[in-house]
Amino acid sequence: MKLIVGLGNYGEKYTNTRHNVGFIILEHLAQTHNTQFKDEKKFKGQVAELELNGEKTLLLKPLTFMNLSGESVRLVTDFYKINTKDITVIHDDLDFEVGVVKTQFARSSAGHNGVQSIIDNLGTNEFNRVRVGIGKPENEEEKENYVLRKLSKEELESIKYLVSGI
């Protein structure tokens, strides 16, 4: 079994914001595969199930806030006995322009609090990461506000396009 985690913040005010790229991609992936997310209180998240490349795959949107995402990931991982090498975490990254993607395995959090929470809760960094570019604010002090800004329609389509081949 594989687990794909999309990082974001739950709630209407965070919908389609830069920080919610992980949620956006998972929602589009679920829609593409005709499946829906269900609230799973025992996992502190929403889960959808599908088959990818002939293998059962769970999609997880943690409903904790971003900085506590690891709690939800740990609950799912323990329950289903998922090897951390079978986990992929999709998250926003300020280091790349919108729509640029970089994949990595067993790397540090690079300052991303959601990823650090997962590392802390799993006790390892041995999982896959998909870093999705959201651009960078002009002013370094603007980071917090910038990640909570809504994506433009064009940026949103560019990000959804990333899922089209999966």
Separation of alpha carbons 92 and 8, rounded Å:
9
The answer to whether 89 and 115 have CB atoms below 8 angstroms apart is yes
> Rounded to an integer, what distance in angstroms lies between the CA atom of residue 151 and that of residue 119?
28
* Assigned token pair, 27: 């929602």
Q: Which of 74, 110, 117, 118 is nearest to 92 (CA)?
A: 110
83: Cβ–Cβ under 8 A, 6 or more apart, which residues? none
Determine the Cα–Cα distance for residues 22 and 151; give it in Å rounded to an integer: 13
The distance from CA 65 to its chain's CA centroid, rounded to whole angstroms, is 12
- Please indicate whether residue 91 is annotated as part of the active site: no
* Catalytic entry in 19, 28, 91, 112: 19
Strands 101-105 and 55-62: unpaired
Quick one: which H or E segment has residue 77? Answer: helix 69-80
Active site residues: 19
